[in-house]
Structure 1
């Protein structure tokens, strides 16, 4: 009789995810208020503000791919710590610099550091996890602490910036730099990887080709659909639809997001226990269909008014948030399972780059859809169903029984 798998995180894994949460507090202090600072406090025109924000987001996409290659050739721990040092430098330049050129350089450096950091996260977690159950739990804790950190940081930032001056913003940027530097120090001092951290020869690792198969390519397409028509719409399309199509108040929008945040915080570890027990393709299919159901609730909310409409919108956000709890542990475990040997960094980097593309294109897609007669909620639901179909193909391929190997032919006649 076999015992139950050990689900306990190692001490280095705890330090890694705890540091992630602390760094997320710094992110929450600054990211939600960057556009406000640049446009209203600094007085930059809308076009120049948009360019700066696009530089920040755009730099992360190619650097995610490059960072993944670095994580394959070198220690992902070293890549992660170095990337955080780069982010620290960017936030310090933004805190101390003056003028458009300094802000452009700062946001470019921050984007580069962010892109380099993200593809190292999953390889570090994979190396720190003794089995798949621990891996799923660590990814779930990372996502949970990310949300907690962003919420705490955003709340503190909102309080501090109630009557803010230029110098107040700069102190917050410096605080984010400190959070990045602290996390880099934690990784360097307290997150040793198991034997092999130094990578078994750079030249040998560099020659491993990155040739993802069909299943991995389908997974990236599914992710692009889920982010563009899912996560990005929750952040941009939902508030816009509530305000324009439903004539809802900003208080309603805030309340809906408070509900979703509470569901993620309360349900993340419970959902991850379920994800541990099922195949990750089936967890991702269930999540996609759950999101489709959430968007159908949004469509139904457009057919009623008053308290019934509010109730359906709340149900939509609860349903979406429950599905979201499965995303990180299921998706990135699949990335590891489908990555060709020796290419986990590049596979993760490609996944992060796809996420960035979907997250960047999602808001303009929302604006376009809501400005036309296209049924917004039904389009989102259809995209979720299509993503589920793509993952179903992956599931069938992963569970296909390999054909029997024919026995070798006997040479010569029997004696």
Structure 2
């Protein structure tokens, strides 16, 4: 894509390599712990919560490190921590070893995420280049996860725990390879004052930044996380859909994201990022209303509406990464981009962790599941609209002194 520097291409390519490794084993982690290792459902849930929970405080801590030092060494160290964690899963034996391994992986993930946006910001000469780089990162993530999950599923089909351990080792290697790529091929521009700052400035988030994070909590908890948890449950139980239908809907959504990411990002380049987020959230609200309408139909008409729902949601999703993180970088207090992105990633982890139990509570509840999701998307759009009005408000003229 136009304007990307060599280091930016290397950073995105490394992201894709690491995503392939993640896809090899992360989607099958619960299956490995519960079926191959024989852990109870409760013990498996505890381990998965440790993995997600460790990332939340470490995202905040990682943001502080980014602001105090530089995002590049933080990213390299975090990737090596992740590599160590996955290798510990591969060689460890017993519940304590697995607990320690997932704690290490969660900590490494939390440390890495706050460094991503600052690195992209440093490597991007303009907002347009920033949008393109973030779009390519999201595309590399989806391609890598899909390719890795497909290969992992094929390899695990006729095999067992031993094969899964090798896949975890491969993921550890992919993290280490990415660390080498960042160290050798992703130099950051010199002369940034942040590199010379002895102590970071005080983090004072403004109202617009805070509203954006609240909107993110809503769009993750009642949007992105529901696509992974609530939508399959609702289609299977409330709409009597088959597992083949659920799989087909995800295949459609994945294809739409892969085909639509770059065209949508070009649109995001041309509009204000708040407007892009508002359109995205309203598209999601419309998608959930299609799901609600599908409850009143049957047969091919129901399937058609569900496909339209997933297509609409996926097109909106294509705007999320380039619009949200570009806007986040713009609203971050001066000298506190690392802590700003660290807080945003912590909010993302909280929403992603809360999403599945929220789905279990909502599906089959008194209020239709789809209407709750549509209301949450609309509320998030309203919060972003407030941010938009604040960003476009004309400055008040100074009062003349008598």
TM-score of the aligned structures, taking structure 2 as reference length: 0.98
Q: 1:79 aligns with which of 67, 74, 88?
A: 74
| 1:192 counterpart = 2:192 | no
Q: Which digits, 9 at most, give the CA deviation of each residue in 1:105-134, with x for residues without a partner? A: 000000000000001000000000010000
For 2:37 and 2:359, the matched residues in 1 are separated by 28
- Deviation, 1:406, is 3.7
Match of 2:277 in 1: 284
Indicate conservation of the 8 Å contact 1:13/1:191, yes or no. yes
User: Which of residues 203, 209, 234 in structure 1 aligns to 2:227?
Assistant: 234
How many Å separate the matches in 2 of 1:331 and 1:254? 28
After TM superposition, give the deviation of residue 198 of structure 1 in Å: 8.6
User: How many Å apart are 1:202 and its aligned residue?
Assistant: 4.0
SS of the aligned residue for 2:229 comes to helix
Contact 2:54-2:103 at 8 Å conserved across structures = yes
Alignment of 1:222-301 (within 5 A): 222-301=215-294
Equivalents in 1 of 2:195, 2:10: separation in Å? 25
Listed as ranges, the gaps of 5+ residues in structure 1 are 1-5, 410-415
1: CA distance between counterparts of 2:30 and 2:244? 21
Whether the aligned pair in 2 keeps the contact of 1:75 and 1:197 (CA below 8 Å) is no
CA distance in 2, matches of 1:218, 1:191: 33
Determine helix, strand or coil for the equivalent of 1:359: helix
Q: Which residue of 1 aligns with 2:9?
A: 14
Q: SS in structure 2 opposite 1:364?
A: helix
Q: In the aligned structure 2, how far is the partner of 1:210 from the partner of 1:48?
A: 38
Deviations 1:233-290 (A, max 9, x none): 1110110011101111111000000000000000000000000000000000000000
The CA deviation at 1:201 is 2.8
Q: Is residue 63–residue 114 contact of structure 2 (8 Å, CA) maintained in 1?
A: yes
Which residue, out of 205, 215, 227, partners 2:208? 215
Any idea what SS the aligned residue of 1:256 has?
Answer: helix
1:383 aligns with 376
For residues 386 and 70 of structure 1, the distance between their equivalents in structure 2, rounded to whole angstroms, comes to 33
Q: 2:353 — aligned with what?
A: 360
Q: Is the 8 A contact 1:26 1:153 kept in 2?
A: yes
Q: Once the 2 structures are TM-superposed, how far is the Cα of residue 405 of structure 1 from its aligned partner?
A: 2.4
Matched, 1:116 2:114: no
In our comparison, the structure showing a higher alpha carbon Rg is 1
CA RMSD of aligned residues (A): 1.1
Q: CA deviation at 1:8?
A: 1.5
Correspondence 1:94 to 2:94:
no
Runs of 5+ unmatched residues, structure 2: none
Residues 221 and 352, structure 2, Cα contact 8 Å, conserved in 1: yes
Alignment of structure 1 residues 160-171 onto 2, 5 Å: 160-171=155-166
Tell me which residue corresponds to 2:42. 47
Aligned length: 402
- 1:304 equivalent in structure 2: 297
- Give the deviation of 1:197 after TM superposition: 6.2
Alpha-carbon displacement from aligned partner over 1:53-97 (angstroms, at most 9, x marks no partner): 000000000000100111111110110111000001101111001
Q: Does structure 1 retain, via aligned residues, the 8 Å contact 2:64–2:338? A: yes
Superposed displacement of residue 164, structure 1:
1.6
TM-score (norm 1): 0.95
* Superposed displacement of residue 407, structure 1: 4.6
